[in-house]
Structure 1
Amino acid sequence: MDFLQLSGRRILVFGVANKKSVAYQVAQQLEAVGAEVVYVVRSEERKAQVAKLLDRVANPSLAGKARAIYVCDVEHQSQIDALAANLKSDFDGFWGLVHSIAFADYSDGMHPFHETTRRQFLQAIDISCFSLIALAGALQDQLDPSGSVVTISISTTRMASESYGFMAPVKAALDSSLAFLTKSFSRFSEVRFNAVAAGLLKTSASAGIPGYVDAYLYAERVIPRKRALHTEEVASTATFLLSPRSSGIASQSIVVDAGMSTNYFDHDVVSDAMRGA
C-alpha cells in the first residue's frame, strides 16, 4: 500500500553532501517509497562525489540508470536561473522540493554575537534563507499546484546557544519566510511551505562548528530517552511533509528534537551542574 502517496512523484532535493546529510536521508526514503528524486548540489566536485555515493546505493527501480544530478551554487542568481531553465527543458514538472541548504562562515572561530560581521551575516542569510525564496520564485511554474516544499531548520531560534553562533537568527528568518511564501503562492496554487525544526544532529556540517560536539553530547543527556536524535528521524518527518498525507499542514515548523525542549531541568543534569558550581 502506498500510504504516503509519493510513488511516481518527482521531487527535487537540494543539499546532499554525503551520507550523513539530512538531504541524503530524505532522498533515500523518497526513493524507497517509489518517488523519483532529482538531485541538486553546489559544485561539479560535489556532483562527482554524490554520483559515486549514489552508485553504491542499491535501488532495483533504478537498475542501469544514473540519478539525475544538477549543479547550482545558490549564491549566484544566474546559476539559479540556468538551473530552472535546464529543469524545465528536461522534465515536465515536480511534485515537491527539499531545501536542505545552510552555511555560516566560522573560519575565524566563534565570537560573541555582537561581533558578527556584516559579511558573515549577509552571506549566511543569502545561502541559508534567501536561497529558498529565490528557488521558489525561479521554479514556481514547475511545481505541482498541490505540491509541497520542505526546508530544514532548527528546533529553537529563541535559545542563545553560543555553539551555534549567528545562525539562529538566520534560521528565524527562514522560518518566518514559510508563511509569506505560502501566502504568496496561494494566489495561483496550493503549494505548501513547511520546515522540519531539527534538534542537534551528528552531521559533517555540524562537526565543523566550534563547540558543537559538546552541545551535542549535552543534548543527548537532556533528551528524555537518553539517546541522541538521529538524522533518519528528521528525514522521516520531511518525507511525511512532502506527501499528500500532510496536506493540512502549511506554514509550519515541526519540531523534531526527541523531547529535548521538555527536559532541560533533568534531575541528573541539574545535580551535575550544581556540584560544579
Structure 2
Amino acid sequence: MTQIPDGNALRGKRVLVLGVANEHSIAFGCARVFRRLGAEIALTYLNEKAKPHVEPLARELDAAILLPCDVQREGELDAVFRHLTETWGRLNIALHSIAFAPKSDLQGNLVDSSAAGFGLAMDVSCHSFIRMARLAAPLMTEGGTLLTMSYHGAEKVVPNYNLMGPVKAALECAVRYLAYELGPSGIRVHAVSPGPLKTRAASGLKDFDTLLSEAVERSPIGELVDIDDVGLTAAFLTTPYAARLTGMTVHVDGGLSIMA
C-alpha cells in the first residue's frame, strides 16, 4: 500500500466525499488522504444497509458529518447540502465517486442496452455530479475544487466496459463544461481516472479479473495502483500546487493509458 505523507496542506479545508461504500472504496482512499493532510471530512452512505460499513470509517477519519445520500432518492442530495450549510457554512472540496448501471445493461453489449438502463446509468453516474456542482458552488465562497471519478474506458474501447464507456465519456465532458462555467468563481473541476482497482463496483464488470491481470502486464510500472494512490492525486489537485489546472482528466494508472 502506498505510504501517505503527513502534512498540513489541507489544514482548515472542509471536504465532502460522496460514495464511500467500504474500506476498499476509492472514495475512502481519497477521504483518508484528505484527512491525513489536515482536512475536516464529511461522508455520506447510500442507505441503512450500507451505514454499518461506513460508520467505522467515519470514526477512523474523525468525520465531522455522516449523512445518508442516495442520489436516486428525491431530495437526499439537497438535504446533505442543507446540513453542510447549517453546520459548516462553507465548503472547499467536494468529491463525487458514484456510479451505477443495471447489471443486465452493464454486462451486455452496448447495442443491446435498454433506454431505461442507459438513462439510469447516466443520471446516477453523470448528472448527479452536475447536481452536486450546482449545490456546492454557493458554499465555495473562497473558490474550491470539484472532483469526480472516471476510467480509461471513456476514451478508448475497453472490452466488457460496455455501457459505462459512453456514460463516463459524458462525465468527462461535463467536467470540462463545468470548469468553464465555474472558473470565474474560482472553482476548479477535474476528473480523476484510476487504473483497474479491486473495488465492489468494479467487480460487477464481466471478466474483471482478466482486466486486472492484463493491467499489470501492460503497465510501464508493472503493478496496480491502490486507493491511496488515487487519493494522493486527488489531494494534489485541490492544493495551490495545482492552482492553474482545471477541466482535466488525470490518469492514475501506472502509465497504462499511454500504451497502445
TM-score, with structure 1 as normaliser? 0.86
Over the matched positions of the two proteins, sequence identity in percent amounts to: 30
Residues 1:229 and 2:233 are matched in the alignment: no
Q: Provide closer, same or farther for how the CA distance between residues 128 and 108 of structure 1 changes in structure 2, counting only shifts above 3 A.
A: closer
In 1, Cα distance between equivalents of 2:135 and 2:13: 20
Q: CA deviation at 1:156?
A: 4.2
Selected match of 1:49 from 50, 53, 56: 53
Residues 1:75 and 2:79 are matched in the alignment: no
Q: How do residues 10-159 of structure 1 correspond to structure 2 at under 5 angstroms?
A: 10-55=14-59, 57=60, 62=62, 67-107=64-104, 110-159=107-156
- Partner in structure 2 of residue 177 of structure 1: 174
Residues 1:217 and 2:213 are matched in the alignment: yes
Q: CA deviation at 1:9?
A: 0.8
In 1, Cα distance between equivalents of 2:11 and 2:175: 26
Q: Which runs of 5+ in 2 are unaligned?
A: none
SS in 1 for 2:201: helix
Deviation by residue 1:30-85 (Cα, 9 ceiling, x = unmatched): 11111101112221332332112343x3x6xx4xxx64201111123422222222
- Partner in structure 2 of residue 269 of structure 1: none
In 1, Cα distance between equivalents of 2:143 and 2:16: 15
Q: Aligned-residue CA RMSD in angstroms?
A: 2.0
Q: Provide closer, same or farther for how the CA distance between residues 84 and 260 of structure 1 changes in structure 2, counting only shifts above 3 A.
A: same
> 2:96 is aligned with what amino acid?
H
In 2, Cα distance between equivalents of 1:219 and 1:145: 40
In 2, Cα distance between equivalents of 1:251 and 1:144: 20
8 A contact 2:6–2:36 mirrored in 1: no
- Greater Cα radius of gyration, structure 1 or 2: 1
Q: CA deviation at 1:11?
A: 0.5
Residues 1:9 and 2:13 are matched in the alignment: yes
Runs of 4+ aligned structure 1 residues displaced above 3 Å come to 1-4
8 A contact 1:4–1:243 mirrored in 2: no
Deviation by residue 1:191-243 (Cα, 9 ceiling, x = unmatched): 00101111111112111222111111111111123212222212211111122
8 A contact 2:34–2:231 mirrored in 1: no
8 A contact 2:19–2:45 mirrored in 1: yes
Q: Provide closer, same or farther for how the CA distance between residues 141 and 263 of structure 1 changes in structure 2, counting only shifts above 3 A.
A: closer
SS in 1 for 2:196: coil
In 2, Cα distance between equivalents of 1:108 and 1:167: 9
SS in 1 for 2:142: strand
Q: Provide closer, same or farther for how the CA distance between residues 118 and 108 of structure 1 changes in structure 2, counting only shifts above 3 A.
A: closer
Q: Which runs of 5+ in 1 are unaligned?
A: 265-277
SS in 2 for 1:94: coil
Q: How do residues 240-259 of structure 1 correspond to structure 2 at under 5 angstroms?
A: 240-259=236-255
How many residue pairs get aligned? The number is 256
SS in 1 for 2:222: coil
SS in 2 for 1:11: strand
8 A contact 1:155–1:256 mirrored in 2: no
Q: CA deviation at 1:108?
A: 6.8
In 2, Cα distance between equivalents of 1:125 and 1:216: 25
SS in 1 for 2:92: strand
8 A contact 1:13–1:27 mirrored in 2: yes
Q: Provide closer, same or farther for how the CA distance between residues 98 and 131 of structure 1 changes in structure 2, counting only shifts above 3 A.
A: same
> 1:16 is aligned with what amino acid?
V
8 A contact 1:163–1:215 mirrored in 2: no
In 2, Cα distance between equivalents of 1:190 and 1:128: 25
Q: CA deviation at 1:138?
A: 2.0
> 1:172 is aligned with what amino acid?
A
> 2:214 is aligned with what amino acid?
Y
Q: CA deviation at 1:253?
A: 0.5
- Partner in structure 2 of residue 195 of structure 1: 191
In 2, Cα distance between equivalents of 1:231 and 1:47: 20
- Partner in structure 2 of residue 161 of structure 1: 158
In 2, Cα distance between equivalents of 1:231 and 1:132: 20
